A = this chain, B = another copy of it.
Amino acid sequence: MEKHPKRRRGEKFVFRAQAAEPGTAPIAQGYLARIAENNVAPTTEVFAPFRFEGTDVGNISVVFAKQLQRFPRVFVVDFPSAITMNPALQSPEERSDAAAGVLKELASEGVVTGWRDELYPVLKGFGSPPLLCVERAAAQLFGITAYGVHVNGYVTLPNGEKELWVARRSSTKPTWPGLLDHIVAGGQPHGISPTANVAKECSEEANIPQDLAETAVAVGAVSYKGVTEGNLKGDVLFCYDLHLPLDFTPENMDGEVDEFMRLPLSEVAELIQTTQDFKPNVNLVIIDFLVRHGFIRPEEPDYLQIVASLRSGVCA
């Protein structure tokens, strides 16, 4: 582990932004550009809400809706008005069992891929009782809100300036390999509190001792909603700040991180504004951090738009 990566970060983005390689479009600059990349509105795709008792709990594409329409005893498809579950299925257990039957059949046909044998709750809002649970591999097809926890691990230098610990995701990870990430971040499983989840992830991902992890402060949430691989999905990320001692060095325990580095906020800000080096949703949480710590100030152009767009998705 070294404090700064070997290659000066500044060089890379200047190259990318001003003299892109042939066939590589220069990326848009600025905080709003990074936020917008998490909130890509549907263009050609058409979606209908997945609805329970008047509350929209997901978004289903016309492609997947046509599949669900084959199972009228389970799903009532009234596209594009709404997709609901057959009211004959009255309990969460009945609904989950019925949905599992449908999804297993669709998996056998190759419509649902990447089966994980892991259940994912469909909720009216965070903390409310599950309406049903669906196989995680199908969650994105229903466009269900996913929840996560992200930890800004930072230090304060003797001169008062702050530096952020940043992880580089393993080059072998199936999602976003090699991109920059928080020191600790993870999905929010059902049945455990976000704060308990943070403590668990702190240990697994960065070997942060329990007593230190417990000093992480919940500081709010960001949200976004956009189209990814033909699905329309919103995420809510619970944000935490963890003020780390200057002599602390994270150590990855689960093989999902290639390196950790500690970067001055000015460098982090420049990377966000001028590169796509961070995993897309990580940008939102760090921008929120930069706002809350007075690094992005009201005198910044677009300050209020930046602040407002950090919760562009449903926040419930």
Contacts and interface: CB of A to CB of B under 8 A. Distances in A.
Contact of A298 (B238, B299, B304, B307): B238
Given A298-B238, A311-B311, A126 B304 contact: yes
B221 A297 contact: no
A294 B127 contact: no
Question: A interface, by DSSP: helix, strand, loop or mixed?
Answer: mixed
A224 to B, nearest CB: 13
Contacts of A23: none
A111 interface: no
A218 B311 contact: no
A195 interface: yes
Contacts of A304: 125-126, 221, 236, 315-316
A291 interface: yes
A238 B292 CA distance: 11
B221 A298 contact: yes
Interface in A121-141: 125-127
A220 B316 contact: no
Contact of A297 (B218, B236, B303, B305): B218
Copies in the complex: 2
A308 B311 contact: yes
A49 interface: no
Interface in A266-299: 291-294, 297-299
A25 interface: no
Contact of A194 (B194, B195, B218, B299): B299
Interface in A209-263: 217-221, 223, 236, 238
B294 A217 contact: yes
Contacts of A308: 221, 223, 311, 315-316
8 contacts: A195-B299, A217-B293, A219-B292, A219-B293, A219-B294, A221-B307, A304-B316, A308-B316
Given A218-B291, A221-B308, A304-B315, 14 more contacts: A126-B298, A193-B298, A194-B299, A195-B298, A217-B293, A217-B294, A218-B297, A219-B291, A219-B294, A220-B291, A221-B304, A238-B298, A305-B315, A307-B311
Enumerate the 10 nearest inter-chain pairs by beta-carbon distance, A residue then B residue, closest first. A308-B315, A217-B294, A194-B298, A218-B294, A218-B297, A238-B298, A304-B315, A219-B292, A221-B307, A193-B299
Interface of A: 125-127, 193-195, 217-221, 223, 236, 238, 291-294, 297-299, 301, 303-305, 307-308, 311, 315-316
